[in-house]
Amino acid sequence: MEQTAPWQRTRWCGELRAADAGQELTLNGWVRRRRDHGGLIFVDLADRTGLVQVVFDPSEAAEAHGIAETLRGEFVLSVRGMVTQRSAETINPGLPTGEVEVRARAAEVLNPSETPPFSLAEDKAAEELIRLQYRYLDLRTERMQRNLKLRHDAAQAVRKYLNSQGFWEVETPILFRQTPEGARDYLVPSRVNPGHFYALPQSPQLLKQLLMVAGFERYYQLARCLRDEDLRRDRQPEHTQIDIEMAFVTREDVLGITEGLFRAIFRDTIGYELPDPFPRLTYAEAMARYGSDKPDIRYGMELFDASDILVESEFRVFVNAIKSGGQVKGLTAPGGAQWGRMEMDRMTEELMRETRAKGLAWIALAEGSPKSPIAKFLSEEQLSGLIDRAAAKPGDMILMVADKKEIVAEALDRLRRKLALRLNLIPEGVFTPLWVLDFPLFAWSEDEGRWDAEHHPFCMPHADDWGLLDTDPGRVRAQAYDVVLNGDEMASGSIRIHRRDIQQKVFNVLGITPDQAEERFGFLLKAFEYGTPPHGGIAPGFDRIVMYLCGEPNIREVMAFPKTQTAQCLMSGAPSVVDDQLLRDLHIKLDLPPEE
């Protein structure tokens, strides 16, 4: 039997409590702080469970005290000693181990450390680029250890819940063929098949559908997905999604499983109870009321449509927008009447700079008569009707945008979100999930002059809309659904097409000919001929969920090794230049743009 080394731990630093007083133990960890108090040396020793105070007393252990005199921050240390209870006046109530300390009997430095480029002991965050360059040190901080532990707990909650619902975890390949998923693919050249490439999966969409054909019926996977797209606070080149697919189900079955999953994750990790059931909006309702398909419903300020009231006004901007097929919509900012003309000009310029809106009309319901640059163009009846439609009260500000429907929605959605922050309308510590249902199956691309898939081309159309595939594709609704949480999309899914004839009809609308469909998706279409059951699924974004659980503003803070805004790893230097011989083996020649 192999003997343990004398420095191997017998207890974890962060688990010690008053009940452990009198216990002899061995601790391993990193020196977080060292304080010399005139003979006595105090060391905060940390491991992944937390930290505990270790006391080095020269009268009790001279050799260990001598070692303590050499310690600096982040030295790797093993300590043998006894747990003792602190005196009442020295208890640290802000520390879980604050009632005890360890009196050192022996110590061994397992590895010294250079002075870190930033303090791991302080709560103050270092500059982000430095943190990413030294990510292995950043991950040693209490904040990042807490985040990654919560991520682990969330993953276990996912598996526990889905296993209890009869799902099997199945891994799908990372090397697959290129399929259209909406973003650019990362390509991997094949050495043994010159001129051919694998595509890294943007999602396992087609593979999980094939698992339903194969009769697995309930599948899930914590799937790694890769997309070559622009990065944002909630996007990285590679991310993890909770990939789920179910056979012989309706939309209600998928929604029920998904709600149960979200409730289990939040309950098992942070003890938060999400509502049962989640509220629901159709896509059309969400756009009409909030100007967004991912609205934050923790606060009000819903949009109103005043087109019918203002179409006969003397304000040509309104009239022209309405008569050209657009609309006039607005929202009411509670208490906003206090903002002056300069403030409104600044808000208008900002909105025009950030969106496609050409202006912002406003009416302040200040004391006395309403104040507005456009009031003179409105009759008393129009003004009164507008105030009623806006549900505005004295002291409020009515804000309106006139343009094409999509421009109005974009502008008012952004304005609503910004005003909610400014007016402190967003409650803290509240999670409000929402289903958005019945998305359009297609979206018209002005640039390309053709129809694109709103989500992806494998969503089943509503049965009532099948006839519109040939006559009016823009009105076809997909059996698609999203989970929105506090204004962020957290999951997207649909009932899938399981019949070849319907799939080809959708391809026809997208301009994909039968020959092209056979070339790109022949393996899937062939499978449809062998008893494919009705099926559907969803894919919650795991990183985004964990971001919310941790209260972090960016998914980089809940990933072990994320990329920067330019998709680089500052720690390793990826992406990097590769050896010319490797390129020759892969039959690749580089045609790089000229250096600036």
For the beta carbon of residue 379, count every other beta carbon within 10 angstroms.
11
Is 299-426 a domain of CATH 3.30.1360.30? yes
pLDDT digits (tens, 9 = 90+) for 25-80: 999 999 999 999 888 999 999 999 999 999 999 999 999 999 999 999 999 999 99
Quickly state the pLDDT bin for 126 (edges 50, 70, 90): confident
Q: Which secondary structure element, helix H or strand E, spans residue 113, and what is its range?
A: none
Q: Judge contact between 52 and 36, C-beta under 8 A.
A: no
Q: Can you tell me the mean pLDDT for 543-552?
A: 97
pTM over 0.85: yes
At 427, list the tokens: 């409650």
DSSP letter (8 states) at residue 32: E
Dist CA 520 CA 456 (whole Å): 14
Q: Is the pLDDT of residue 396 over 70?
A: yes
Mean pLDDT of the chain: 94
108-122, 177-191, 231-245, 261-275: range with lowest mean pLDDT? 177-191
pLDDT value of residue 121: 86
Percent of the chain with pLDDT over 70: 98
pLDDT value of residue 217: 97
Q: How many CA atoms lie within 13 A of 164 on its CB side?
A: 10
Fold of 14-111: OB fold (Dihydrolipoamide Acetyltransferase, E2P) (2.40.50)
By three-state DSSP, how is residue 200 classified?
coil
Q: Is the pLDDT of residue 230 over 90?
A: no
Dist CA 445 CA 470 (whole Å): 18
Dist CA 485 CA 227 (whole Å): 23
Helical spans, DSSP H, in 3-72: 62-68
Residue type, 482: D
In b/e form, how buried is each residue of 200-231, taking b as 16+ CB within 10 angstroms? bbbbbbbbbbbbbbeebbbbbbebbbbbeeeb
Q: Where are the domains of the chain?
A: 14-111, 299-426, 439-478+499-532
Burial of 538 (0-12, 13-18, 19+ CB in 10 A): buried
Q: Is the pLDDT of residue 1 over 60?
A: no
Q: Is the pLDDT of residue 521 over 60?
A: yes
In degrees and rounded to multiples of 5, residue 9 shows phi and psi of: -65, 150
Helical spans, DSSP H, in 134-244: 135-138, 142-164, 205-213
Q: Output the CA torsion 490→437→450→536 (10° steps).
A: 80
pLDDT value of residue 182: 64
pLDDT value of residue 559: 97
pLDDT value of residue 125: 73
Percent of the chain with pLDDT over 90: 89
In degrees and rounded to multiples of 5, residue 545 shows phi and psi of: -60, -45
Q: Is the pLDDT of residue 563 over 80?
A: yes
